[in-house]
C-alpha cells in the first residue's frame, strides 16, 4: 500500500465525501474518484458503497482508520529519516530562514559557514510558522527567525536550543520623491500604507505593536498587501505607501536616497534575530554548524566573525 493511497483514503474518511476529499488532496473529483477505484482494484476490495447517493464509506474502511493513520505517520517519518541520513552522510545541511532574513542576512552567514566547514548548505525561505514546521519535522537542521520582545516564537522551549544572532529595527520608509504628496495626504487625514497579511509575523506585529501607537487608525489607508518584505520595500520605493521593513533590508535604498526613514515621526519596533535547532542527537556536521553559529553570535563574537551590516554601514539583520 502506497503512502499517497493511504492519505487519499484518510482524506475521504476525514471529509466524509469524495468532493471535499478531492479538494483536500488538490485534485478534481473525477480524477480523485479514478484514484479511489484504482486503489480498490489493486487490493481487490470495494471501500465505498456506490449504490447509495451520495456515495457512502463502508464500515470496513472506518474500522481500519487508526491503523492507517499510524501507518501513514510511520511512512512519513521513515521518509524524513532516510532523507536526514542521506544529508548526514554527505555533510549536507538545510537552513530555513524567514523571507527578509534570506534576502538581507542569510547569504553572508552561508558564505562564512561554507568557508569554515566542509558542508553543503541548502537555504530555504519561508514564513516564521513554516520555518518552525520544517524544523520540528526535521526537514531543516537550523532556522533563522525574527522575534519581537513581546512575541517570542510560541513553542515548547524544552525541544529548542536558541542562539541570539543580533538586533534589528523595523522601520517605516517611503519614497523620498513622493514626500510632498505624503504630507498632503496626511493633512487630509490619510496615511497610505503597505500592509502584511494578518497570519504572518509582520502582519501581527503591525496590528498589535505598531498601529496602536498611531494617532488614529482611521488615518490608515491600505494601498496594497503582501506577505514578502522585499516586495513591500519595492512598493514603498514606487510611492504606493509607507512600508515597515527591517532596517538592513532598507539601508541600501535609504543611502541611495530613494527611500526616507520616517522613524522620527512614526513608530518603530526592535527585533532580534535568533537561530534555533532541536535538542535531539546531532550529526558531526550539525554540531560543527552550531559551533560556528555560536561563534558568530554577539555573545561569542571574534574578530573573524561574520560582518554584520551594522559594522559595514550602520545597522543590523531581518523577516516575515
Q: Tell me the domains of the chain and their CATH numbers.
A: 3-80 (1.10.10.10), 95-320 (3.40.190.290)
**Mean pLDDT, rounded, for 95-99:** 87
Show the cell assigned to 68.
Answer: 492507517
Contacting residues for 170 by C-beta, under 8 A, at least 6 apart: 202, 205, 210, 244, 245, 246, 247, 268, 269, 270, 271
SS3 151: strand
| pLDDT, tens digit (0-9, with 9 covering 90-100), for 206-243 | 999 999 888 765 688 999 999 888 899 999 999 999 99
Q: Is the pTM of this model over 0.85?
A: no
Give the contacts of 259 (CB within 8 A, at least 6 positions apart): 173, 174, 175, 176, 233, 236, 237, 250, 253
Cis ω for the linkage preceding 54 (within 30 of 0):
yes
Mean pLDDT value of segment 104-116: 68
CA–CA gap between residue 25 and residue 23 (Å, rounded):
5
Does the pLDDT value for residue 89 go beyond 50?
Answer: yes
| pLDDT tens digits, 26-41 | 888 888 888 888 888 8
The kind and range of the H/E element at 16 are none
Check residue 153 and give its pLDDT. 66
Q: Which three cell numbers stand for residue 127?
A: 514564513
How many Å apart are CA 154 and CA 156, to the nearest integer? Answer: 7
DSSP 230-299: HHHHHHHHTTS-BEEEEHHHHHHHHHHTSEEE-TTTS--EEEEEEEEEESS---HHHHHHHHHHHHHSGG
Phi/psi at 248 (nearest 5 deg)?
A: -60, -30
Amino acid at each position: 500500500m502506497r503512502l499517497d493511497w493511504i492519505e487519499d483514503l484518510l482524506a475521504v474518511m476525514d471529509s466524509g465525501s469524495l468532493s471535499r476529499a478531492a479538494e483536500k488532496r488538490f485534485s478534481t473529483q473525477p480524477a480523485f474518484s479514478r484514484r479511489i477505484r484504482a486503489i480498490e482494484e489493486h487490493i481487490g476490495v470495494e471501500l465505498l458503497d456506490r449504490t447509495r447517493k451520495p456515495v457512502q464509506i463502508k464500515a470496513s474502511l472506518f474500522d481500519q482508520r487508526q491503523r492507517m493513520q499510524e501507518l501513514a505517520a510511520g511512512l512519513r517519518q521513515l521518509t524524513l529519516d532516510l532523507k536526514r541520513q542521506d544529508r548526514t552522510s554527505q555533510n549536507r545541511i538545510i537552513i530555513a530562514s524567514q523571507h527578509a532574513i534570506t534576502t538581507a542576512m542569510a547569504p553572508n552567514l552561508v558564505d562564512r559557514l561554507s568557508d569554515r566547514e566542509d558542508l553543503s548548505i541548502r537555504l530555504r525561505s519561508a514564513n516564521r510558522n513554516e520555518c518552525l514546521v520544517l524544523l520540528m519535522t526535521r526537514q531543516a537542521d537550523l532556522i533563522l527567525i525574527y522575534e519581537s520582545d513581546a512575541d517570542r516564537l510560541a513553542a515548547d522551549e524544552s525541544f529548542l536550543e536558541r542562539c541570539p544572532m543580533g538586533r534589528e529595527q523595523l522601520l517605516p520608509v517611503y519614497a523620498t520623491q513622493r514626500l510632498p504628496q505624503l504630507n498632503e495626504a496626511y493633512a487630509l487625514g490619510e496615511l497610505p500604507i503597505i500592509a502584511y497579511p494578518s497570519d504572518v509575523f509582520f502582519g501581527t506585529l503591525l496590528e498589535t505593536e505598531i498601529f496602536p501607537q498611531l494617532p488614529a487608525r482611521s488615518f490608515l489607508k491600505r494601498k496594497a498587501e503582501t506577505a514578502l518584505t522585499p516586495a513591500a520595500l519595492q512598493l514603498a520605493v514606487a510611492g504606493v505607501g509607507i512600508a515597515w521593513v527591517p532596517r538592513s533590508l532598507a539601508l541600501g535604498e535609504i543611502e541611495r536616497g530613494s527611500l526616507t526613514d520616517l522613524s522620527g515621526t512614526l513608530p518603530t519596533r526592535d527585533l532580534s534575530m535568533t537561530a534555533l535547532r532541536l535538542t535531539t542527537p546531532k550529526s558531526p556536521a550539525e554540531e560543527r554548524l552550531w559551533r560556528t553559529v555560536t561563534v558568530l553570535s554577539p555573545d561569542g563574537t571574534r574578530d573573524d566573525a561574520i560582518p554584520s551590516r551594522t559594522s559595514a554601514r550602520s545597522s543590523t539583520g531581518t523577516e516575515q
